[in-house]
Copies of this chain bind each other. A is one copy, B any other.
Amino acid sequence: MGADAGALNVVRANGGARPYRTELTPVSFLRRSAYVFPEKIAVVHDERRYSYRAFEDRVNRLASALLAAGIESGDRVAFLCPNTPAMLEAHFAVPAIGAVLVPINTRLDAGEIRYILEHSGARLVFADHELVHLVEDAAVGVIRVDETGDHSDPYEAFLADGSPDQFELRVDDEEQTISINYTSGTTGRPKGVMTTHRGSYLNALMSGLQANLRPDSVQLWVVPMFHCNGWCFPWAVTAVGGRHVCMRKVDPELMWQLFDAEGVTHYNAAPTVHTNIVNHPAAHRLEREIVVTTGGSPPSPTLLARMAELNLRPIHAYGLTETYAPYTVCEPQAAWDDLEPETRARRFGRQGVHNIVADPIRVVDEQMRDVPRDGETLGEVLMRGNNVMKGLHDDPEATVAAFDGGWFHSGDIAVMHPDGYIELRDRKKDVIISGGENISTIEVEHAIARHPSVLECAVVATPDEKWGERPKAFVALKDDETATEREIIDFCRDHIAHYKCPVAVEFGPLPKTSTGKVQKYVLREREWVGHHMRVN
């Protein structure tokens, strides 16, 4: 191959760059769709409709205005916005100039936001008009987004100062950081997960393939874009030239309207969101299937059955902020069609297998040896490869710890089934150890969720003098339904081992994160008041 190497060196010398290599960046997807589909509607928000040409013009304006404001390659630019056009635009304009996007969770308080702005070293923050009061005291420049689209909107004024002309993308290395996504860890302070252009590009292609995105796809924005960059869908939908339908907040009534009015074909969300959607009075069977990527926790058999009735086709994925969101997908098997609905739903509720662009997932013991494929032995879930984060911003120690042994440690506890599918059993911090036996809180939750009156539930450890820890259930009932503590416990005892059943049941709404994930730690804190440890 010596002769080839010679040729390549000549080619390389000829102009410097290699003509057979372009750095991967998801920003290129917008460039292409604006080229191919300039007149097609790309973004819908209430009465506003932007064509792909307008979408790109606005992104170019934002990018050039950021440059004019002194933002340089590697600088961080924060966005504190719901799922609005500005948030979509941020996903292209900020990386286009080589800067790093810092999307901020809109449900945080002022102190938490201040910490993120300071820790990330953001030079500017764009804040929605309903949230701008949260950054009043921030020591960085603030640009308010009024969301009117009018000239009087400071965001629009900022764009007006920019240029709609195309410029050369400042992506010198596809492994440069594209986004820093802050997520809560075990230590209290959020950590800044750094992702790359390369990883985002590959995940966007994978998502498009997995969710069967096409040029006529219409994505309704349910999962927040601040959460893992909306699971890379701002880039994936744009890549195929599909349409984004924005929505400021999750409103099931509005969703059912938009499903019909906008011809929605796709949306992504956590099961708790789907539960509200499928139980809404406006729910009706759709003529055209909607592909629903769901993650965060396994969908219950009840939810799956209801989704099928309504023509919502679920894709069950699992991942973390550290893995650009979905890392696994529960690929349905043809043989499952012959199973009882309950069994099939349980199969479908497994987190599954690594997706097309991911490396094989592992479940390992304390010595990092793979656990047997027995569906029983608990171990920690490890990942690595192109859809694992680059590291934690400004935190070398935590980065090294997260990558112990060359693998990303998820902190999630799972089993490996004989068919190679993983199934989560607990968070590492969340395992209940009762009388020396491990209890999976998720298993208990599944049992309770099968009770016909239960809308949703969460199980945490509560201290117990005799057993060390016992499970306690927090239950939200469906509207107009009733149940007693005794009923719930007895129901559980009919379905799972008695030692796993809750010792107590408390009724009421569950505390949740902005993405709809139940905040188990809030419940646990409540149970362990006065204890110096959270295990026993």
Binding site for B on A (CB under 8 A): 1, 3-4, 6-8, 10-11, 14-17, 19-22, 24, 29, 31-32, 35-37, 39-40, 74, 175, 177, 194, 196, 198-199, 202, 205-206, 208-209, 212-215, 239-241, 331, 333-335, 353-354, 356-357, 359-360, 384-386, 388-396, 399-400, 403-408, 420
9 A-B Cβ contacts within 8 A?
A: A3-B393, A7-B391, A8-B391, A11-B400, A19-B384, A20-B391, A21-B386, A31-B360, A209-B239
Complex CA distance for A389 and B7, rounded to whole angstroms: 12
Given the interface pairs A29-B356, A239-B356, A395-B3, the reply to whether A209 lies near B215 with Cβ below 8 Å is no
Nearest CB of B to A388, in Å: 5
Complex CA distance for A106 and B147, rounded to whole angstroms = 62
Given contacts A7-B391, A14-B406, A391-B11, contact A32 B385 (CB under 8 A): no
- Which chain B positions have C-beta within 8 A of A14? 400, 403-406
Tell me if A405 and B32 are in contact (CB < 8 A): no
Known contacts A7-B391, A392-B7, A20 near B241 by CB under 8 Å: no
- Residues of B contacting A206 with CB < 8 Å? 205
How far is B18's CA from A509's CA once the two chains are assembled, in angstroms?
44
Residues of B within 8 A of A405 (CB): 14-15
Taking CB atoms, residues of chain B closer than 8 Å to A400 are 7, 10-11, 14
Among B24, B214, B385, which residue has its beta carbon within 8 angstroms of that of A212? B214
Oligomer: number of copies:
2
Ranked nearest first, the 3 interchain pairs of A and B with the lowest CB-CB distance are: A15-B406, A7-B396, A22-B385
- B399 near A11 (CB under 8 angstroms)? yes
Residues of B within 8 A of A29 (CB): 356
Cβ distance A175 to chain B, nearest Cβ, rounded Å? 7
A6–B396 contact, CB under 8 A?
Answer: yes
Q: Which residues of B contact A3 (CB under 8 A)?
A: 393-396
Known: A209-B240, A212-B212. A386 touches B20 (CB 8 A): yes
Q: A11-B400, A20-B391 are in contact. List 20 more A-B contacts (CB 8 A).
A: A3-B393, A3-B394, A3-B395, A4-B391, A4-B393, A7-B391, A7-B399, A11-B391, A19-B385, A19-B388, A19-B407, A20-B385, A21-B385, A24-B386, A32-B356, A35-B420, A37-B333, A205-B209, A209-B209, A209-B213
B388 near A10 with CB under 8 A, answer no
**Separation of A400 and B71 alpha carbons in the complex (Å):** 39
Interface contact B209-A360, CB-CB below 8 Å: no
Tell whether, in the assembled complex, residue A240 and residue B359 are in contact, meaning their CB atoms are under 8 Å apart.
Answer: no
Q: Counting chain B CB atoms within 10 Å of each CB, which of A196, A199, A406 scores highest?
A: A406
Q: How far is the CB of A215 from chain B (nearest CB, A)?
A: 7
Distance from A158 Cβ to chain B, minimum over Cβ atoms (Å): 25
Shortest distance in angstroms between A240's beta carbon and chain B's nearest beta carbon? Answer: 7
Residues of B close to A393: CB separation below 8 A: 3-4
Closest partner residue, chain B, to A392 (CB atom): B7
Task: Enumerate chain B residues within 8 angstroms of A408, measured Cβ to Cβ.
Answer: 19
With A209-B213, A215-B331 given, is the CB distance from A403 to B21 under 8 Å? no
Is the Cβ of A21 less than 8 Å from the Cβ of B175? yes
Chain B residues in 8 Å Cβ range of A17: 406
A176 to chain B, nearest CB (A): 9
Q: Check B4 against A177 for contact (C-beta < 8 Å).
A: yes
Instruction: Kindly list chain B residues whose C-beta atoms are within 8 Å of the C-beta of A334.
Output: 40
Most buried by B among A6, A10, A215, A399: A399
A384 vs B21: C-alpha distance when bound (angstroms) = 8
| A19-B403 in contact (CB<8A) | yes
Distance in angstroms between the alpha carbons of A241 and B3 in the assembled complex: 38
Q: Would you call A35 and B360 a contact (CB within 8 A)?
A: yes
Q: B residues within 8 A CB of A198?
A: 21
Give the complex CA separation of A8 and B384 in angstroms.
15
With a 10 A CB-CB cut-off, give which of A32, A39, A335, A393 has the most chain B CB atoms.
Answer: A32
Q: Which of A1, A17, A202 counts the most chain B CB atoms within 10 A? A: A1
Tell me whether A389 and B20 are in contact in the complex, defined as CB-CB below 8 angstroms, given that A209-B205, A331-B37 are known contacts. yes
Contacts of A386 in B (CB 8 A): 20-22, 24
Contact B359 A395, beta carbon cutoff 8 Å: no
> Whole-angstrom distance between the alpha carbons of A9 and B266 in the complex?
40
| Bound complex: CA A389 to CA B32 (Å) | 21
